[in-house]
Amino acid sequence: MRKQFVIKMLLPCFLLFVFLSCEKNSTVTDIDGNVYKTVQIEDQIWMAENLKVTHYRNGDAIPNFTDAAIEWVIPGAYCNYDKDANNATTYGRLYNWYAVNDSRNIAPEGWHVPSDAEWKTLLNYLGGDDVAGGKMKETGTAHWNSPNTGATNESGFSALPGGAHDYNSYYESMGTNAGFWSSTEYDSGNAWYQVLSHNYSEVHRSDYDKRNGFSVRCVSN
């Protein structure tokens, strides 16, 4: 009887442990079939990889920027860094803010692009802007340029330096910067984003031209 009682008492704890483990080590799949690792950080569940999707949630194609800057200006668009699809395998794709803000949704079902406030919640939990970057960056210099200051990745966020696409048609900062859009507008021409760098532990928040391309991470609803 005592053995059965102990088993009954421990079973809910075991199930809770399994549930929490699954939450922290799960995956999410986008409409294109790309599978992303996820990580639970306090009460939020984040993608632990950069978005790669090339279609909105309803199946409509997101235009692929190729040549003329005018193609990148107002419609939602994505590109591969240096126009090389191989870069997307590791670093994901770069999106302008118009794709982020499109009502057809760039995120998988049950997920969304984080607001500026949701980014702030994450950074506050990780100790604030001054130290959160180190806790979010992948360690080592396989992808980040040296010195990758302060990188511990203790959060499991595994930030990678996917660089940026300037709407004037040039690419920059792969290996040195990881810039992530928020869904929050600053004004009619700019939106808030967060940027991590290889040479500091901080996360810098700034507004930037909506026409530029940055990486995207999604957070669970």
Does residue 135 contact residue 154 with C-beta atoms inside 8 Å? yes
Is the confidence at residue 58, as pLDDT, over 50? yes
Does residue 194 contact residue 119 with C-beta atoms inside 8 Å? yes
Query: Which of the pair, 54 or 169, is modelled with greater confidence?
Result: 54
pLDDT over 90 percentage in the chain: 81
Beta strands in 26-85 (DSSP E): 27-29, 35-41, 44-47, 78-79
- What stretches of 28-128 show up as alpha helix (H) in DSSP? 85-91, 97-100, 116-125
- The alpha carbon dihedral of 41, 148, 191, 165 has a sign of negative
Is the confidence at residue 5, as pLDDT, over 50? no
Does residue 212 contact residue 69 with C-beta atoms inside 8 Å? no
Assess if residue 49 is contained within a domain: yes
Is the confidence at residue 12, as pLDDT, over 60? no
Does residue 94 contact residue 163 with C-beta atoms inside 8 Å? yes
Assess if residue 16 is contained within a domain: no
Assess if residue 53 is contained within a domain: yes
Look at residue 216 in the predicted model and tell me its pLDDT. Answer: 98
Look at residue 18 in the predicted model and tell me its pLDDT. Answer: 37
Is the confidence at residue 3, as pLDDT, over 70? no
Assess if residue 129 is contained within a domain: yes
Helix (H, G, I), strand (E, B) or coil at 133: helix
Assess if residue 145 is contained within a domain: yes
Q: How many domains does the chain have?
A: 1
Helix count and strand count (H, E) for the chain:
5, 12
HSE toward the beta carbon, residue 55, CA cutoff 13 A: 12
Mean pLDDT of 34-49: 97
Is the confidence at residue 16, as pLDDT, over 90? no
Assess if residue 141 is contained within a domain: yes
- What stretches of 76-192 show up as alpha helix (H) in DSSP? 85-91, 97-100, 116-125, 129-136
Look at residue 42 in the predicted model and tell me its pLDDT. Answer: 95
Q: Which of 209, 204, 212 is nearest to 190 (CA)?
A: 209
**Helix 116-125 crosses helix 129-136 at what angle (to 10 degrees)?**
80
Look at residue 43 in the predicted model and tell me its pLDDT. Answer: 96
Helix (H, G, I), strand (E, B) or coil at 100: helix
Name the residue with tokens 């909506």.
Answer: 210
Query: pLDDT tens digit string along 140-190?
Result: 999 999 999 999 999 999 999 999 998 877 899 999 999 999 999 999 999
pLDDT band at 75 (very low <50, low <70, confident <90, very high): confident
Assess if residue 36 is contained within a domain: yes
Amino acid letter at 61?
A
Is the confidence at residue 9, as pLDDT, over 70? no
Assess if residue 7 is contained within a domain: no
Is the confidence at residue 67, as pLDDT, over 90? no
Look at residue 2 in the predicted model and tell me its pLDDT. Answer: 52
Range of the domain at 205: 24-220
pLDDT, mean over the chain: 89
Mean pLDDT of 11-26: 46
Is the confidence at residue 110, as pLDDT, over 90? yes
Look at residue 52 in the predicted model and tell me its pLDDT. Answer: 98
